[in-house]
Amino acid sequence: MNTIARATSQYRSFASAVAALILAAGLSPDQPLLAGDHVPMISAKASYQVQPLDLVLGKSTVVDVPAPIRRASLADPTIADAIVLSPKQLYVTGKAYGSTNLTLWGKDNQILAIFNLEVAVDVARLKEQFSRFLPEEYNIHAASSHDHLTLSGTISSPAKLSQALALAEAFAPKRVINLLKIYPEEPNDAKPGDLDQVTVEVIRGTSVNSVKF
């Protein structure tokens, strides 16, 4: 009972804080949050089909649903948080890398919508950092997949590669897959004559002769 009481108290405190933020923004608790409030917004469909919902770690998205929500459930609350702002709006935040499901029920306890939540790296922000700190490296490509960040393309030198990896690590520590190639490739220590020389072994009976070209 004490655990339930503490959880209920924490929930009420959190709900009060959310309500205070809404009121501070000049809205009533039942008033929908507008897209102009600088929070990404998506419009969901009333459907039994699973709908994608891509989130950035540490950032939120407002989900606008077509009918009043009676109940909401997250399969894994360690991946994301979902707060009901109004009967037709949810405030969903990415908490950890990974994926989970969000299910909404409407009137008569019928399923209103099902979402596949994917929490990933903020690739758009990382690309901004590449443009800022490595403006001449225009062929760096970044893509997020589950809990990993993949870099591909070409880069001009080992020093620039180290800088690019350092920037990427700040967004996805120990989760960066490096497929970047240095171009043009650095020359090796072989002499030009050695690179052009080809040795062919000619076998005649029991004797082997080497012919160089």
Output the pLDDT for position 67: 92
Output the pLDDT for position 109: 86
Instruction: Please give the domain boundaries of the chain with CATH numbers for all domains.
Output: 40-120 (2.60.40.1080), 123-182 (3.30.1340.30)
* Distance of alpha carbon 209 from the chain centroid: 61
What is the spatial distance between Cα 184 and Cα 156, in angstroms, rounded to a whole number? 7
Output the pLDDT for position 24: 39
100 touches 36 (CB < 8 A): no
What is the spatial distance between Cα 186 and Cα 137, in angstroms, rounded to a whole number? 17
pLDDT means over runs of 10, the chain (213 residues): 37 41 40 52 89 92 93 93 92 92 91 93 93 95 86 95 95 92 71 51 48 49
Output the pLDDT for position 10: 41
Q: Counting Cβ atoms within 10 Å, is residue 212 exposed (0-12), middle (13-18) or buried (19+)? A: exposed
- Beta strands 148-155 and 80-86, pairing class: unpaired
Output the pLDDT for position 164: 95
What is the spatial distance between Cα 61 and Cα 46, in angstroms, rounded to a whole number? 18
Output the pLDDT for position 191: 52
165 touches 133 (CB < 8 A): no
Output the pLDDT for position 197: 53
Give pTM, 2 decimals. 0.59
* Distance of alpha carbon 21 from the chain centroid: 27
